Structures are given as C-alpha cells and as structure tokens.
Amino acid sequence: MLKAVATRVRRGFWSVAGVLLFVLSVAAVQARQSPSTDGVASSITLAELPPQGRETYAQIRTGGPFAHAKDGTVFGNRERLLPANQRGYYREYTVRTPGLRDRGARRIVCGGSRPRVPDACYYTSDHYASFREIVE
C-alpha cells in the first residue's frame, strides 16, 4: 500500500512539473513574439558606432547622397521592436559592411517627420533582430 502511494506521489510530481515546464515555455515564446512598446535593449554612442555607421549617420544629417536605392525608404517596423508610430515615421539606411558586395545586415533606422533632423535613430547590426538607440 505504501509503495502504491509513493508511486502516485511521484507521478503527480512529474505531471505537475511537466505542466509547469509547458506553461513556462509557452510564456517564453509569447514574450518573444509580443509587440514591444520599447524593444530597444540599450543605447550606443555615436563614437561607438563602426566608422561606416558614423559615415551613414552624417549622410542622414546632410540628406545624402546614399549608395543604395533603398536608403531613405520607409521602414515598416514589422518586428515591433521600435516604439510604435504611424506608417512612414521610420526610414532605413544601409551601414556599409567592408568586404560585402550586398547591403549586409547593418542599418540605421531613424524616426521623425524631418529626415535630416530625426527624433531618434537606432542602430542594428543583425538585420532588425535588435536595436540600440544612437545617442550623441
């Protein structure tokens, strides 16, 4: 009889542990997929940007010229990592990566109604998977 009770207790423990593990994994997936109102993990100073990033930032402030046709086009923020704003608020710019022939993964995304004087700019080195706000 005591052995049967111990077996039921063990089964109950593992059932509860399994349910808890499932709930925690679902919560982790939802947290990763939920839109963030402030998905910017940290900031980066202008001096910390790679030289090509500083060059792109200076081009943004002067209105170009830009090397790629996509530079200055609307960034949709589909990842929802940047603060929510109306469509057309954000624009993206390529940060050249030495040794690559294509645009690479590095970008600066700026928001505001005046492209040369943005409200805020963000740097991503991993093609929109994360952003760091650029501070001067």
Q: Provide the 3-class DSSP secondary structure of residue 12.
A: helix
62-117 pLDDT per residue, tens: 999 999 999 999 999 999 999 999 999 999 999 999 999 999 999 999 999 999 99
10 and 47 fall within a common domain: no
What is the biggest distance separating any 2 CA atoms in the chain, rounded to whole angstroms? Answer: 83
1 and 18 fall within a common domain: yes
3-state helix/strand/coil string of 41-87 = CEEEEHHHCCHHHHHHHHHHHHCCCCCCCCCCEECCCCCCCCCCCCC
- Length of the chain as a residue count: 136
pLDDT at 82: 96
15 and 64 fall within a common domain: no
Among 48, 55, 92, 133, the active-site one is 92
22 and 48 fall within a common domain: no
22-73 pLDDT per residue, tens: 544 444 434 333 334 455 669 999 999 999 999 999 999 999 999 999 999 9
46 and 87 fall within a common domain: yes
2 and 22 fall within a common domain: yes
Among 55, 127, 133, 136, the active-site one is 127
Residues spanned by the domain of 110: 42-135
Known active-site residue 92: yes
